[in-house]
Amino acid sequence: MKSDVKQETLALNGDEAVAYAVKQSDVDVVAAYPITPQTIMVEKFSEYVANGEVETEFVCTESEHSAMAASISASATGARAFTATASAGLALMHEMLFVASGCRTPVVMAVANRALSAPLNIHGDHSDTMAERDSGWVQIYVENAQEAYDSVIQAFRIAEHTSVLLPVLVGLDGFTLSHTLENVTALSDADVKEFIGERKLINVLTHEGKSVPFKLDPDNPMTMGPIALQNYYFEFKRQQEEGMKNALALIRQVHDEYAKLSGRSYGNGLVEKYQLDDAEIAVVCVGSTAGTMKTVVDELRAEGVKAGLLKLRTFRPFPVEEIQNALGKVHAVGIMDKSMSFGGNGGAVFHEVRHALYDLAERPLVVDYIYGLGGRDYNPKEFKKIFNELRQIAHSKRVHKLVNFTGLRE
């Protein structure tokens, strides 16, 4: 794909790429609290503030809980709000994540994915965000710093769209992406600003009987975040689900528009298919692992093995149809899970992908591979072994072990 606009190539790590995207996104309020491996994002952004490079009001809160509360309230006041965190910080925000989605405040958050305690571990896995998959946030996972940059910009468009009005989380793997320098091609400030546009507000009917923009405005008072009991709570939850449904189409649309502008695309924005058209065996993975996995698929293809890869970019809303279309014809599928659902017979990605395939008349055999917890390294050799197992499963049409641990000492 080609781009007609002027772009600049910068050497940035994932955190810096996020901070740079936020700088260009005309964000009004950033409220955040530092935690490894997200720290570079807040530090970098603080520099922008200190040097007058942004107009943003930066609120360096005393906790992530308050960071999320302040992001929600800033957003409720009509501002564009951003925050960033990881691991324990996200866990501390847990309560407020549901408030953000329930209040329909389109906050954008970057998460430098990291393991959860205990034992304490600062390295990358997906335990933090997978634990929040039911919090009503759109979840997008990226493969590299470039995609982190591109996705944060897209996230504002998605979150603030009046048909969605939901908070969006962009997950990038801790250290692997957050701290690794890459060449990142960036759009101009003006192009980003134009792409995102001003925040548009829906109109709501208030107790004064007026239809007014949805924000805390003394000229048009409204009550936000009230108590709703048995008679109404359910209806509000159903509305959120509609926002998620609309996000499914919108993420693709925003992705395509952005691709036209920048020349960069990530599958269709929801999933990215790699060598899947005639694949007999395939793996599904989330985040930076896709990069390694692509080289493994290439090697296998060179050997004549019909291997493929499905990169799950959008995890919420879950792209059921895309998954069915991509994997329906495959014989055996291995799911790469970088988090555990203790006692749940497999990880989150496994559960959901397998669930998505259930309705197909003909469906592949699906096995789970839990790997990389707490930043445990993995290598192409291990991944090749996984493909080998998948070949056996496809051939024998039998699964011996549904849930496997890869790279674990017995």
Partner 1 sequence: MATTQEWKITAKDIAEKPDILMPGHRACAGCGPAHALRLVMKAIRGPTIVTEATGCMEVVTSIYPYTSWAVPWLHTAFETSAANASGIEAALKVLKRKGKLKQEHVDVIAIAGDGGTFDIGFQALSGAVERGHDFLFVLYDNEAYMNTGIQRSGGTPMGAATTTTPAGSVMPGKLQHKKPIADIMVAHGMEYVASASPYYWKDLLQKVRRGLEVEGPAFLHLFAPCPRGWRTDPAKTINYSKLAVESCVFPVYEVVNGKYTLSTPSKLIALAPQKKKPVADYLKGQGRYRHLFAPQNKHMLDEIQRWTDERWAKLQQKVEQTA
Partner 2 sequence: MSSKDKGWKEIAPAGVSPKSSIGFMTGDWKTYMPVRDLEKCTTCLMCVLYCPEGAVRWRPEMGKIEFDYSFCKGCGICANECPTKAITMKLPEKEDE
Residue 292 token pair? 């390694």
Our CA dihedral for 203, 205, 206, 208, rounded to 10 degrees, sits at 120
* 219 belongs to the binding site for partner 2 (CB under 8 A): no
> Which of 17, 19, 21, 29: binder of partner 1 (CB under 8 A)?
29
Of 207, 381, 397, 409, the one binding partner 1 by CB under 8 A:
207
Closest to partner 2 by CB, 242 vs 256, is 242
Q: How far is the CB of 166 from partner 1 (least distance, A)?
A: 16
* Partner interacting with residue 239 (select from partner 2, partner 1, none; CB below 5-8 Å by kind): partner 2
- The DSSP H or E segment spanning 386 is helix 380-396
Structure tokens at 17: 């790429």
Provide the 8-state DSSP code for 402. S
95 versus 377: smaller Cβ distance to partner 1: 95
Helix/strand/coil for 174: coil
Distance from the Cα of residue 82 to its chain's centroid: 14
Among 216, 244, 320, 403, binds partner 1 (CB under 8 A): 216
Using CB under 8 A, which residues numbered 152 to 211 contact partner 2? 165, 202, 204-208
Query: Rounded CA gap, 165 and 100, in Å?
Result: 10
Round to whole Å and give the CA distance between 317 and 308: 23
What number of other Cβ atoms are within 10 A of residue 409's Cβ?
A: 5
With CB under 8 A as the contact rule, the residue among 231, 342, 398, 410 that binds partner 2 is 231
CB of 131 to partner 2, least distance (A): 24
Contacts of 90 (CB under 8 A, 6+ apart): 64, 97, 111, 128, 129, 131, 132
Q: Which of residues 66-125 bind partner 1 (CB under 8 A)?
A: 66-67, 69-79, 81, 95-96, 99, 103
Pick 131 or 216: Cβ nearer partner 1: 216
Q: Which stretch binds partner 2 (CB under 8 A): 53-61, 236-244, 289-297, 399-407?
A: 236-244
Q: Which stretch binds partner 2 (CB under 8 A): 117-125, 224-232, 270-278, 338-346?
A: 224-232
The site for partner 2, by CB under 8 A, has a size of: 27
Is 234 a residue that touches partner 1 (CB under 8 A)?
no
Q: Which of 264, 282, 387 is nearest to 325 (CA)?
A: 282
Q: Does 31 bind partner 1 (CB under 8 A)?
A: yes
Q: Are 407 and 378 in contact (CB under 8 A)?
A: yes
- The sign of the torsion formed by the CA atoms of 319, 321, 322, 328 equals positive
Between strands 81-85 and 29-32, the pairing is parallel
Residues 67-126 that bind partner 2 (CB under 8 A): 102-105
Site string for partner 1, 349-388 (x = CB under 8 A): ----------------------------------------
Q: Could you say whether residue 218 binds partner 1 (CB under 8 A)?
A: yes
CB atoms inside a 10 Å sphere around CB 254 = 22
In total, the chain counts a number of residues equal to: 410
Which residue from 9, 183, 232, 377 is in contact with partner 2, where contact means CB under 8 A? 232
Where do contacts with partner 2 occur on this chain (CB under 8 A)? 102-105, 165, 202, 204-208, 214, 222-226, 228, 230-232, 234-236, 238-239, 242
